[in-house]
């Protein structure tokens, strides 16, 4: 096995170490910018390009890359008027209940495939929580990242799963078993779901029942106790 060591990969490792240190020294207080800054530092790593290459082998995803599709602007109040059980209704309900901003994420100009991939997952990430049934707390977030990782190894998902294991084991060791249970559930569910979350034009599914979407994706039973999102 050949180890690829170059400047860009070293930058990625250094960014990971800095992210760990910064997170351990001070709370984020809901500020997600350090996560996005960390992801930006991974742009030129070999893994980032490999992720793009693998994604573009999937016809539906390759079409998104060609179109540079991103979801249309949304209105939570309008989505909340959709029938109960629909993706739009549940998404709006959960976002409003938690006080989340749908556009919380850091924007980057789309100038190449890697920057497009970042904007694609950043703008659809919260929808994944609803569809896959993962809570939005720390453990649920890492479980969702394990799901995404099982479907396609996006660099930030790999790093956040490992980051979660490090931080929980050091600072919340009583929660480590719960974390590993959720990681295992996420990875199993993601690996057994043939339809890729990142391949969907999600703004076309707002009025679909979440149960129907899961069936379309071939998603198995969302068997869990931790996630509060239906």
Could you tell me the two tokens for 37?
Answer: 């800054």
Contacts of residue 135, defined as CB under 8 A and 6 or more positions apart, other chains included, come to: 129, 141, 143, 226, 227, 228, 229
Q: What pLDDT does 46 receive?
A: 86
pLDDT over 70 (residue 1): no
12 pLDDT band, cuts 50/70/90, is low
Q: What pLDDT does 7 receive?
A: 45
Q: Which class for 185: exposed (0-12), middle (13-18), buried (19 or more C-beta within 10 A)?
A: buried
pLDDT over 90 (residue 177): yes
Q: What's phi and psi for 209, nearest 5 deg?
A: -65, 140
Say what the pTM is: 0.85
Q: What's phi and psi for 86, nearest 5 deg?
A: -80, 160
Q: What is the pLDDT of residues 67-89, one digit of tens each?
A: 999 999 999 999 999 999 999 99
CA distances from 116 to 35, 40, 67, 106, 119 (A): 17, 12, 10, 13, 5
Contact indicator for 207, 86 with CB cutoff of 8 Å: yes
């Amino acid at each position: 096995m050949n180890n690829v060591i170059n400047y860009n990969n070293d930058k990625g490792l250094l960014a990971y170490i800095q992210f760990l240190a910064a997170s351990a020294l001070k709370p984020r207080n809901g500020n997600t910018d350090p996560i996005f800054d960390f992801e930006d530092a991974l742009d030129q790593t070999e893994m980032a390009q490999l992720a793009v290459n693998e994604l573009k082998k999937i016809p539906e995803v390759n079409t998104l890359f060609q179109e540079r599709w991103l979801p249309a602007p949304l209105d939570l109040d309008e989505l909340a008027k959709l029938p109960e059980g629909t993706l739009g209704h549940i998404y709006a309900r959960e976002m409003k209940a938690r006080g989340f901003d749908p556009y919380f994420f850091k924007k980057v100009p789309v100038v190449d495939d890697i920057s497009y991939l970042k904007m694609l997952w950043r703008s659809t990430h919260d929808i994944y929580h609803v569809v896959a049934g993962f809570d939005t707390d720390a453990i649920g977030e890492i479980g969702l990242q394990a799901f995404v990782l099982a479907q396609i190894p996006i660099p930030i998902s790999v790093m956040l799963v490992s980051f979660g294991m490090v931080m929980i084991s050091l600072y919340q060791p009583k929660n480590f078993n719960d974390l590993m249970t959720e990681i295992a559930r996420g990875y199993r569910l993601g690996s057994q779901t043939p339809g890729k979350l990142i391949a969907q034009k999600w703004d076309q599914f707002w009025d679909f029942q979440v149960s129907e979407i899961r069936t379309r994706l071939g998603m198995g039973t969302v068997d869990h106790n931790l996630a509060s999102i239906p």
